[in-house]
């Protein structure tokens, strides 16, 4: 039940913001919490408590399943491999789906085939794949660019074939993506950033289609290598060749649909 307090706090901040106390902007129209899906069916009261803590804003959970056997890469939220394939985890995921909530998937790119199998096993669960599938090009993956990218592309294609999965386009300021933008003495500009991110984002958009893509800031985590304005200007540059409805989907409509935001 520990994550319930986090959702309660976030909902309180959103409610305060909605009063106009901090200005015209309003924070957190929707909130994603956390619950341990390894509880299986016993996750139901946890989800009910999360919903009660934020009756109008709670939308789903993120349960990190990152796993990497190499000690150079730290893991969060998982003690053993194969969590997405565990019967209890899938049982908990079905409870999540039955309650009408969504699941945020955060993993390393070699785990993408596991996510595709998971998505097929719980087809009525809306799954949001975080950070373009967790591409990792540091540690044991350095010097294996062709192999790493081939594995990532195949994994993205497998997940994109599952209609209940949408993808967040962003999060690539994290050092593990291997761009090294955080090491620069002079921060990168939006034009160069767009050129650097284009191969990854274009592939994801091609595989999922704009109607299943949403741009994300991943701030404050991503604010070390570039500013918020630079990032979203890069996204705008990247999508100049798309139609107005396609851009609307990626910048707004997919997110409002998936997170049920009025």
Residues in the chain: 262
Banded pLDDT at 75 (limits 50, 70, 90)? low
Q: What is the mean pLDDT of the chain?
A: 95
pLDDT tens-digit series, residues 193-244: 999 999 999 999 999 999 999 999 999 999 999 999 999 999 999 999 999 9
pLDDT of 68 reads: 85
pLDDT tens-digit series, residues 34-53: 999 999 999 999 999 999 99
The stretch 71-95 carries a mean pLDDT of: 84
72 against 233, higher pLDDT: 233
pLDDT of 259 reads: 97
Ramachandran region of residue 208, left (φ > 0), alpha (ψ -120 to 50) or beta? alpha
pLDDT tens-digit series, residues 87-109: 999 999 999 999 999 999 999 99
Banded pLDDT at 262 (limits 50, 70, 90)? confident
Q: Is the pLDDT of residue 74 over 80?
A: no
Helices (H) and strands (E) counted in the chain, each on its own, are 9, 6
pLDDT of 211 reads: 98
Q: What is the pTM of this model?
A: 0.95
Q: Is the pLDDT of residue 79 over 60?
A: yes
- Domains of the chain by range and CATH? 1-60 (no CATH), 63-258 (3.20.20.140)
pLDDT of 76 reads: 57
Q: Is 64 exposed, middle or buried (0-12, 13-18, 19+ CB in 10 A)?
A: middle
Banded pLDDT at 157 (limits 50, 70, 90)? very high
Q: In sequence order, what DSSP letters do the residues of 169-220 get, joined into one string?
A: E--TTSGGGS--GGG-SSPPPHHHHHHHHHHHHHHHHHHH-GGGEEE---TT
């Amino acid at each position: 039940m520990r994550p319930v307090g986090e959702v309660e706090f976030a909902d309180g901040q959103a409610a305060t913001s909605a009063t106009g106390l901090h200005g015209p902007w309003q924070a957190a129209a929707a909130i994603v919490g956390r619950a341990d899906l390894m509880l299986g069916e016993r996750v139901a009261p946890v989800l009910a408590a999360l919903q009660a803590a934020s009756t109008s804003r709670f939308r789903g959970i993120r349960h990190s399943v990152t796993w990497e056997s190499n000690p150079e890469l730290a893991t969060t939220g998982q003690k053993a491999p194969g969590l997405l394939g565990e019967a209890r985890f899938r049982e908990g995921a079905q409870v999540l789906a039955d309650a009408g909530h969504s699941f945020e998937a955060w993993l390393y790119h070699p785990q993408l085939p596991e996510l595709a199998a998971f998505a097929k096993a719980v087809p009525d669960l809306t799954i949001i794949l975080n950070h373009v599938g967790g591409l990792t090009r540091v540690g044991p993956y350095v010097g294996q660019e062709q192999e790493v990218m081939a594995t990532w592309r195949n994994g993205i294609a497998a997940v994109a074939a599952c209609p209940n999965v949408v993808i967040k386009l962003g999060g690539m300021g994290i050092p593990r993506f291997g761009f090294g933008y955080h090491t620069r003495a002079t921060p990168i500009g939006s034009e160069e950033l767009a050129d650097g991110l284009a191969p990854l984002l274009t592939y994801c958009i091609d595989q999922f289609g704009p109607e299943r893509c949403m741009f994300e800031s991943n701030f404050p985590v991503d604010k070390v290598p570039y500013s918020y304005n630079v990032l979203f200007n890069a996204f705008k540059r990247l999508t100049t060749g798309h139609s107005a409805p396609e851009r609307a989907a990626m910048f707004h409509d997919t997110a409002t649909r998936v997170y049920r935001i009025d």
